[in-house]
Amino acid sequence: MPEVTLPTNEGGTERFQLSSPRDFPVQQNAPFNRVAFAAAHVVADPLANSDPWLDAPIDWDRTIAFRQRLWDLRLGVAEAMDTAQRGMGLDWPTAVELIRRSVDAAKDHPGALVFCGVGTDHLAPSPDLALDDVLAAYEEQVSAVEACGGRIILMASRALAAAAKGSQDYAKIYGRILSQVREPVIIHWLGEMFDPALAGYWGCADHDDAMEICLGVLADNAAKIDGIKISLLSKNKEIAMRRQLPDGIRMYSGDDFDYAELIEGDEAGYSDALLGIFDAIAPAASAALAALAADNKAKFREILAPTVPLSRHIFQAPTRFYKTGIVFLAWLNGQQDHFTMIGGQESARSTLHLAELFRLADRAGLLRDPDLACRRMATAMAIRGVN
């Protein structure tokens, strides 16, 4: 097997030999007994004549091709979410174009599932905002997504977090929006570890108190809610909330640290999945979900177990930089021709971080073409001074 020189934490280098990749599917025909979405990244256009810190040039062909690959694996696509750098390089005009293209592509892919992020990211957060300003921003995006024929993921709002005076303001805004939507939505509670501007969401600094407010919103609007995704990186909080959900509302795990355990579930229930890490481990996730549906829990655990250390590494603090690892792995696996990201985010992780990501991806059997992965890793390391 091929080798590559990697840096070590001790300040030196080592020759690292790759293992054989796992034989994961590229086309999944077996059924699942969980609903599973991958929050998909976007592929930047590295040759666009633009300012990479200010603009968001997208390679549309590669971006849509990546979504088609996810659909081939029977994974749904959670579109224009934070994995796609929404609000972190991907602006609203580009996001709505991404949504339109993704929804159109799904029509040509039988069985393809796509839900689309709706937020208020075109509205600058400020404590001087009126709640009606936040409501109007949400309504504008809901209208745009529904006009495209898209289903909605109602994302957390930085503007609402800045403008709300208490939990009653959250209940008011969510109630108004949910009363208007055409089809049941997925609500996304994104924690401050992913976006510091969302600290104190639901009007409470304490997550347990915030959960009570959120559960009240769900109960009051249950007919308009398909499910909720919570991204707090706490399996105990997810399980606690899952056990209190109103009938008919799904829990979509957003826990990129403990997803395997949460998806498998316990005697009281399980979580479905809406995960950024499923972008990076899609073939493994698909194979594992097929095994779980076939009641082969041992195989489900065996496949996903080595992906968990990789995910915990990719999502380590500062968690909001996890997108860098997601795109880096896509490049290593030949799913795009470059390691360039909108907003210049390819620089957000250290050389040591990327080296350890490479080791962990290899242990999980996810580097499908070892020769290509080694060549690209050697290039990345050489650029950063490792020879």
Overall average pLDDT of the 174-195 stretch: 97
Q: How far, in Å, CA of 190 to CA of 86, rounded?
A: 13
In angstroms, the Cα distances linking 206 to 70, 154, 165, 192, 212 are 36, 22, 16, 12, 10
pLDDT given at position 102: 98
pLDDT given at position 208: 96
Nearest residue to 15 via CA among 2, 28, 27, 25? 2
Q: What is the pLDDT of residues 85-128, one digit of tens each?
A: 998 899 999 999 999 999 999 999 999 999 999 999 999 999 89
Distance, C-alpha 143 to centroid of its chain? 23
Banded pLDDT at 55 (limits 50, 70, 90): confident
What is the DSSP secondary-structure string of 301-351? HHHHTTHHHHHHHHT-SSGGGHHHHHHHHHHHTTSSS----GGGGGGSS-H
pLDDT given at position 118: 98
Overall average pLDDT of the 45-65 stretch: 91
Nearest residue to 289 via CA among 38, 104, 56? 38
What is the DSSP code (8-state) at residue 203? G
Banded pLDDT at 316 (limits 50, 70, 90): very high
pLDDT given at position 56: 82
Q: What is the mean pLDDT of the chain?
A: 96
CB 196 within 8 A of CB 82: no
Q: Tell me the β-bridge partners of 79.
A: 116
Q: Is the pLDDT of residue 173 over 90?
A: yes
Q: Which element (helix H / strand E) includes 244? A: none
CB 330 within 8 A of CB 66: yes
List domains and CATH numbers for the chain. Answer: 23-305 (3.20.20.70)
Count of other CB atoms within 10 angstroms of residue 117: 28
101 residue type, one letter = R
In angstroms, the Cα distances linking 123 to 67, 91, 120, 138, 221 are 28, 11, 6, 9, 25
Banded pLDDT at 52 (limits 50, 70, 90): confident
Q: Is the pLDDT of residue 156 over 90?
A: yes
Q: Is the pLDDT of residue 53 over 90?
A: no
Residue with tokens 């795990």: 253
Q: Is the pLDDT of residue 54 over 90?
A: no
Q: Is the pLDDT of residue 222 over 90?
A: yes
DSSP-H helix ranges across the chain: 60-72, 92-107, 131-147, 158-163, 167-180, 207-220, 235-242, 259-264, 277-280, 282-293, 297-304, 307-314, 322-332, 351-363, 370-383
pLDDT given at position 50: 86
Rg (CA), the chain: 20
pLDDT given at position 113: 97
